[in-house]
Structure 1
Amino acid sequence: MKRRLYLWHRYLGIGLSLAFALWFATGVVMLYAQFPILTPAERLGGLPALDPARFSVTPAAAVDAAGLAAPPRRIRMGMLLDRPIYYILPSAEPWLGVYADDGRVLTAIDGKSAAQVARRHAPAGAQPTLLGLVETIDQWTLTNSLNLHRPLYRFGLDDDGGTELYVSAKTGEMVMRTTRSERMWSWLGTIIHWGAPQILRERVGVWRQAMLWLSGAGILLAATGLVVGLLRYRRRGYLLKGVDATRPFASPYLGVKRYHHWAGLAVGLVGLTWITSGFLYLNPGGSRQGPLSTTTQMTPYSIGGVRASTSPRPGQAEAMRGGPLEASLWVDPPASAWARVPARTAARQDRLPREVELRRFAGWPYYLFQFGAFESVTVAADGRGDAPFVRYPTEALVAQARQAVPGTLASAEILESYDAYYYSVGTGARRRLPVLRLTFDDADTRLMYVDPHTGSIARAYDTHAMVMRWMVFGLHTLDFPFLIRNRPAWDITIITLSLGGLVLSISGVVMSWRRMRPRRR
């Protein structure tokens, strides 16, 4: 039995040692270099100022012009090449635009107009060059949220950073930006770590199955290695010939094998938890996607529902809103609502907003004037003339959350800092604070976080999601509160363990090469 165990570990190691070395090395890179995304702060920061007085078409008229069969999911107000526009998101359809100065529907953006948009987002003096139209995906546009904007015009800028911009052919918005440095570090980090070059990610079902089988074999390798390492460890020691016949050694190996043995004993358990949590991240058995499914249907951000389980349950978002987004409720036009914003508030935010979103909360309509990712003011639009505010009253948020969750409310608390389930770590976009945390005695929703600035659910956890937060993300990224609140303790921990993993896996590569290389006769 032991002999078979050793052979299993040996030949799994020959096949997977290099993969483990790459996973350990790229994991360190990912601490500081993320896959390119356009954060809310970057997106809003690149938008032109918006003058609500130029919106002569009402929201209700814009929705009527769009010809929707049902109320839209979202409505935003913005500027497109100096023209005011409503961006409307229908149910189960991509974004569309309706100009707010004449009520015409935006049918599509041509390459010339897209180039003008790209030029406005380019550094001074840089000229955009059209590199192509991305109909489905490319290496940098994998995320599902971009499905609502496809196809995308891709432009290259002749700047020092090697910047590339993506402009939606549906809305004319800049939806993605990458730089040469981001692309290089993504190849050295995220893409290798995920095993996600475009040629494979274009068939996400194949990619997912490949990663499941690879990580599953990795679990076997790590588990057999731990067992073998413990079996070969002898506290009383071995007497090794040719070294020191009088001195006992806890490991029977010499040279590279000894490094491999000691590294396995030191970090083998961590390696097992990392590869197991990576396997669980893919939610084995939880996806019905076929082998030819594309990333426009499923992505590493939401595969099989593991990550999506922190989203609101069906009906909860509408319960917080108090009904669908009926544009006829917006009695006050944007200009009159904006006129009620105090001058000192507007002046503090450079006078004009960058974007306005129509929000409904507890049945009432509101305009959310956004100046930045964490800077906004809300104004009622129902004709009552209420004073603007930054945050909804806590009592109103709690009352509406009770409508969304049938279980008994156990506690409600405003958080001024992150906790174990609502947090930001690494290079990802930061989450807005303060946030309202509610706990329920409910099987479907145990924990809920509500953004008091928007009145919307930021995160919702059932029991499964709370377990997965630790089994998948806790064990994989070690984002435990006592570490991420005390950086660089988090960085030092991951780097130290990863270096141990590199010693373990590189020594495995060396031993594999020595065993597999042709022998001279």
Structure 2
Amino acid sequence: MKIRTRIVRLTYLLHRWTGIVGCLLMLCWFVSGITMLFVGYPKLTPWERLAALPVLEAQFAYQPLSTDTRQQPGEEISLTSIGRQPAYVTASQTDGLHSNNANDARNIDATAPAIALTAAQAYLPNTPMHYDALIQEDRWTHSRSLDKHRPLHRIGTQSPNAGLLYVSSSTAQVVLDAPQGQQYWNYVGAWMHWLYPFRNHSTDPVWNWIIIALSGIGLLSSISGMVVGVWRWRFSRPYRSGRRSPYPEGWMRWHHMIGLLFGAIVCTWIFSGLMAMNPAGIIFSETVKPDLQAYQGPETARNPALANPATILVRLQAQAFDAVELKWMRLDAMDYVLAHDAQAQTRLVVAGQAGLEIRQSWSIPDVLPAARKLLPWPLAEHRMLASFDAYYYQRHQEAMNGAAIQRLPALRLDFDDPAHTRIYIDLRTGEVSTVLSRAQRTWRWLFYFLHSWDTPPLLAYPRTRDILLILLSLGGIVVCLTGVVIGWRHLRRQQP
């Protein structure tokens, strides 16, 4: 009996003292979570980037690609526009990123502030702006996807598009925009939700463990609160007052009643937020990287039929497709060009026997032989997706992963490897879109689903989902707000 009494007392004390910190923290999380439904963390989505590019004109004197040299492993070449002038951007494992003028192959000095300012003015025309600084990282540029572009040119813009633009010092392309209004909302949104004042770098172990520790405190507070709330609720025999709760009125009664109603969702959201940090690396221990070089095929000389951009653009315009960007790619040693327009729509350009062919997407027989080479294990199953499934789906642009385009149709591959890896290939581009081990698919439910309810059926009704999440968040806010008041009053009573 003494042991039970001690356990009960320790549970009460645990909820009381962790709740003083936990409720204030969780109150910030719920308020910022509602904000994040409508205003995302600053990022440059493919839709924004491509919409700002001019149409590539077939009449321009493009420098043809060389057909004498073999492609380097992992090399990618794109024809795009920098400062509204056509330019080649090359990415390779050996030389990294660099850009050249598409007319005379002159190297573009992406480190020059004047070049960066010209690129920014082309992205936001008729907007007054000034060069701010060359920075390695600041509060809006923690994303690891920007590492290959660092250091970054930071450019300040004024009304009507006040904010910040960030330009790559490798290619002189605009890689991030942070409008002033989005910055302000992020101070009560993602910046507060992820406690970015404690984060100094894109990889910051101290910040990582601060989030884990605070999430652990919040989880202990919410679980102990649920236990105490059930203990204090009279299911069979009411209290002398005739109520089921011992608290007749005031903040304690509200905290007890609303806590019983919304305690489970509070626990769920804190737990899923903890899982987002992958504590002690328990989730991503069995990640497998696909062999993209094997998927692309052996190194070969470029196909001469696809070497001249002007010829490709003429063929695309004949199909009423106005390309703003071309990307030279390979699939199982076969060259092709991936074209994007300003709406992020795509076309495939391949060299056929009758000349250049324009395709909407690849077929399964086109992709499957190369896809089998992605992993050195047998392919257990493959399936074409005409609709999204639980692991491959499109999020709205404000979401944390909203900048990733997930197209249909897609090819889903399940490999018979120890990690039970699943790979999705975008058939409209031929690119490997998503790679998930069994552990990562589990993490998808522990974090993404529990935290943001992002299954395709719910995402199909975004307004209904937003309203439901807001109502549940408001319940969590009431639980935390009443807990903050109760904790504050208790601390005041403790003072001499």
Could you say whether these structures have the same fold, taking a TM-score greater than 0.5 normalized by the shorter chain as the test?
Answer: yes
* Structure 1 segment 195-344 matched on structure 2, within 5 A: 195-197=195-197, 200-201=200-201, 204-240=204-240, 244=241, 247-252=242-247, 254-286=249-281, 305=284, 313-323=288-298, 328-329=302-303, 332-335=306-309, 337-338=311-312, 341=315, 343-344=317-318
Residues of 1 paired with 2:472 and 2:313: CA distance?
57
Residues of 1 paired with 2:177 and 2:100: CA distance?
25
Residues of 1 paired with 2:495 and 2:384: CA distance?
72
Residues of 2 paired with 1:174 and 1:83: CA distance?
14
User: Which of these residues, 22, 30, 41, is aligned with residue 24 of structure 1?
Assistant: 30
Report what 1:11 is aligned to.
17
TM-fit CA distance, 1:455: 1.0
Report what 1:142 is aligned to.
142
**388-397 or 7-16, which deviates more:** 388-397
Report what 2:470 is aligned to.
495
Percentage of pairs with the same residue: 29
Residues of 1 paired with 2:129 and 2:182: CA distance?
19
Cα displacement string for residues 467-511 of structure 1 (whole angstroms, at most 9, x for unaligned residues): 111111111112233322233331122112111111111011000
Q: Return 5+ residue gaps in structure 1 as ranges.
A: 288-303
Give the AA of the match of 2:381. Answer: A
Report what 1:460 is aligned to.
435
Report what 1:356 is aligned to.
326
Q: Is the 8 A contact 1:94 1:149 kept in 2?
A: no
Report what 1:186 is aligned to.
186
Does residue 56 of structure 1 match 2:63?
A: yes
Report what 1:130 is aligned to.
131
Give the AA of the match of 2:55. Answer: A
Report what 2:486 is aligned to.
511
Cα displacement string for residues 133-192 of structure 1 (whole angstroms, at most 9, x for unaligned residues): 21x111111111211112222222222341321122221111111211111111111110
Residues of 2 paired with 1:520 and 1:83: CA distance?
69
Report what 2:4 is aligned to.
none
Report the aligned-residue RMSD.
2.8
From the superposition, tell whether residues 517 and 123 of structure 1 become closer, same or farther in structure 2 (CA, over 3 Å).
farther
TM-fit CA distance, 1:342: 5.1
Matched residue of 1:355: which SS? strand
TM-fit CA distance, 1:252: 4.4
Residues of 2 paired with 1:334 and 1:197: CA distance?
50
Report what 1:371 is aligned to.
341
Report what 2:378 is aligned to.
407
Matched residue of 2:212: which SS? helix
Residues of 1 paired with 2:267 and 2:66: CA distance?
55
Report what 2:3 is aligned to.
none
Give the AA of the match of 1:38. Answer: L
Tell me how many residue pairs correspond in the alignment: 483
Residues of 1 paired with 2:205 and 2:495: CA distance?
44
Q: Is the 8 A contact 2:23 2:218 kept in 1?
A: no
Q: Is the 8 A contact 1:57 1:103 kept in 2?
A: no
Report what 1:293 is aligned to.
none
TM-fit CA distance, 1:107: 4.2
From the superposition, tell whether residues 337 and 445 of structure 1 become closer, same or farther in structure 2 (CA, over 3 Å).
farther
Residues of 1 paired with 2:315 and 2:385: CA distance?
25
Give the AA of the match of 2:130. Answer: T
Report what 1:296 is aligned to.
none
From the superposition, tell whether residues 502 and 330 of structure 1 become closer, same or farther in structure 2 (CA, over 3 Å).
farther
Matched residue of 1:404: which SS? coil
Residues of 2 paired with 1:409 and 1:5: CA distance?
49
Report what 1:393 is aligned to.
363
Does residue 38 of structure 1 match 2:53?
A: no
Matched residue of 1:95: which SS? strand
Residues of 1 paired with 2:145 and 2:289: CA distance?
18
Residues of 2 paired with 1:478 and 1:251: CA distance?
35
Q: Is the 8 A contact 2:137 2:201 kept in 1?
A: no
Residues of 2 paired with 1:231 and 1:93: CA distance?
65
Residues of 2 paired with 1:184 and 1:354: CA distance?
32
TM-fit CA distance, 1:341: 1.7
Report what 1:300 is aligned to.
none
From the superposition, tell whether residues 153 and 327 of structure 1 become closer, same or farther in structure 2 (CA, over 3 Å).
farther
User: Which of these residues, 411, 430, 433, is aligned with residue 408 of structure 2?
Assistant: 433
Matched residue of 1:360: which SS? strand
TM-fit CA distance, 1:433: 2.4
Residues of 1 paired with 2:94 and 2:492: CA distance?
56
From the superposition, tell whether residues 499 and 11 of structure 1 become closer, same or farther in structure 2 (CA, over 3 Å).
same
Report what 1:86 is aligned to.
88
Does residue 170 of structure 1 match 2:177?
A: no
TM-fit CA distance, 1:3: 0.7
Residues of 2 paired with 1:257 and 1:330: CA distance?
77
Q: Return 5+ residue gaps in structure 2 as ranges.
A: 1-6
User: Which of these residues, 474, 480, 485, is aligned with residue 455 of structure 2?
Assistant: 480
From the superposition, tell whether residues 342 and 129 of structure 1 become closer, same or farther in structure 2 (CA, over 3 Å).
closer
**47-56 or 203-212, which deviates more:** 47-56
Does residue 99 of structure 1 match 2:74?
A: no
TM-score, normalised to structure 1, is 0.85
TM-fit CA distance, 1:217: 1.4
Residues of 2 paired with 1:476 and 1:442: CA distance?
29
Residues of 2 paired with 1:453 and 1:392: CA distance?
6
TM-score, normalised to structure 2, is 0.89
Which protein, 1 or 2, shows the higher relative CO under an 8 Å CA cutoff with sep ≥ 6?
Answer: 2
Matched residue of 1:224: which SS? helix
Matched residue of 2:281: which SS? coil
Matched residue of 2:306: which SS? coil
From the superposition, tell whether residues 123 and 331 of structure 1 become closer, same or farther in structure 2 (CA, over 3 Å).
closer
**374-383 or 509-518, which deviates more:** 374-383
Residues of 2 paired with 1:80 and 1:327: CA distance?
27
Residues of 1 paired with 2:337 and 2:280: CA distance?
43
Give the AA of the match of 2:33. Answer: G
TM-fit CA distance, 1:257: 0.9
